[in-house]
Structure formats: structure tokens, C-alpha cells
Amino acid sequence: MSNKGPPVFQLFTEIAIINQLAQAGFASVLPKGMTIAQFTVLNHFVRLGHDQQSPAQLASAFQITRPTVTSTLARMEKAGLVAIRPDPEDGRAKLVSVTAAGVKMRELCLQRLAGPLADADAVLSRETLAQLLPLLQDVRAKLDRLRD
């Protein structure tokens, strides 16, 4: 009675567990009040060099719904991490940008994440990583295409 189901089910099970472990580990080192969701937003802006994006674009980038984005951005705005203003070219939309405090917060988060990241890197062989990444990118691309 230990049938783990079809391989594709096992795949998602393993991914869910790894995700759970990783998220928990990372969340535990973030500065008080910061969350992975909020760090992800900050990192997205800085990493990709985006000056500003709409909530809808963020929702699309992270594959989450717009209500979720509204909720997280509201908290980030209150914390002074992002600025939100109306889009002058579209009365429905808003434009989000990261504040100086947001940039600084991202850097602090990166410092804190460095430890757990190094720990994980240390136990995972370079070879495993090199094999895994392209495979996962392929899976993600295919699942993404499926979502229509």
C-alpha cells in the first residue's frame, strides 16, 4: 500500500515538498515583516530593471491573480516599499514603482537569503543543478503553454 501514483503525480508531489521546504527556510530569515511575496515583487523590479509596471503586469509575471496583487501591493505601499500612482495613459490602470526604501529592503533581503542559499548550494552537487535547471525550465514552459 505504498503506491505513490503515476510519475507525473510524483513529480508534482516532489516539487510541492521542495517548494515547501525552500519557502519555509527562506521566509524564516527575512527581516521582520517581510515576506517572500513582497521580496519577489522588489526583486522583480530591480532585477529586470523595470522602472514601473501595472498590477496586472505583475499578476501576469508571477502567475497570481489580480486580487492577490492588490492585497500585497497595498501592504507594500503602506510600508513605503513601493509607490503607486494612476496611469496617466489609462484611466483603469495604475503604475507601481519601487522606492529607495524598497531597493534598500531588497538588498537587505538578499544578504539574509545568502546564508540559506549557500547552505542549499553546498549540499546540492553542481552536476545535479546543471542537469535539473534545463529540465525544469522545459517543464515550466510546457505547463505554461498548457494553461489556456
Q: Among its own copies, DNA, none, what does residue 54 contact (CB within 5–8 Å per kind)?
A: DNA
Grouping H, G, I as helix, E, B as strand and the rest as coil, residue 6 is coil
Binding to DNA, residues 81-100 (CB under 7 A): 84, 87, 90-94
Binding mask of the shown chain, residues 31 to 60, with x at each position contacting DNA by CB under 7 A:
--x-x-xx---------------xxxx-x-
Q: What element of type H or E holds 12?
A: helix 7-27
β-pair partners for 86: 94
Distance between CA atoms of 42 and 114, rounded to whole angstroms? 16
Buried residues in 71-100 as b, exposed as e (16+ CB within 10 A):
ebbeebeeeebbeeeeeeeeeeebbbebbe
Closest approach, Cβ 78 to its own copies, in A, equals 25
Using the contact rule CB under 8 A, the part of the chain among 52-60, 81-89, 93-101, 116-124 near its own copies is 116-124
Give, in order, the Cα–Cα distances in Å from 148 to each of 24, 142, 143.
Answer: 31, 11, 10
Residue 78 · residue 33 · CB < 8 Å: no
Comparing CB distances to DNA, the nearer of 65 and 111 is 65
Residue given cell 544578504 in the structure block: 111
Closest approach, Cβ 51 to DNA, in A, equals 15
Binding mask of the shown chain, residues 36 to 75, with x at each position contacting its own copies by CB under 8 A:
-----------xxx------------xxx-----------
How many degrees, rounded to 5, is the angle at CA 139 between CA 135 and CA 143? 175
Among 87, 90, 107, 119, binds its own copies (CB under 8 A): 119
Query: Which residues contact DNA by CB under 7 A?
Result: 20, 24, 27-28, 33, 35, 37-38, 54-57, 59, 62-75, 84, 87, 90-94
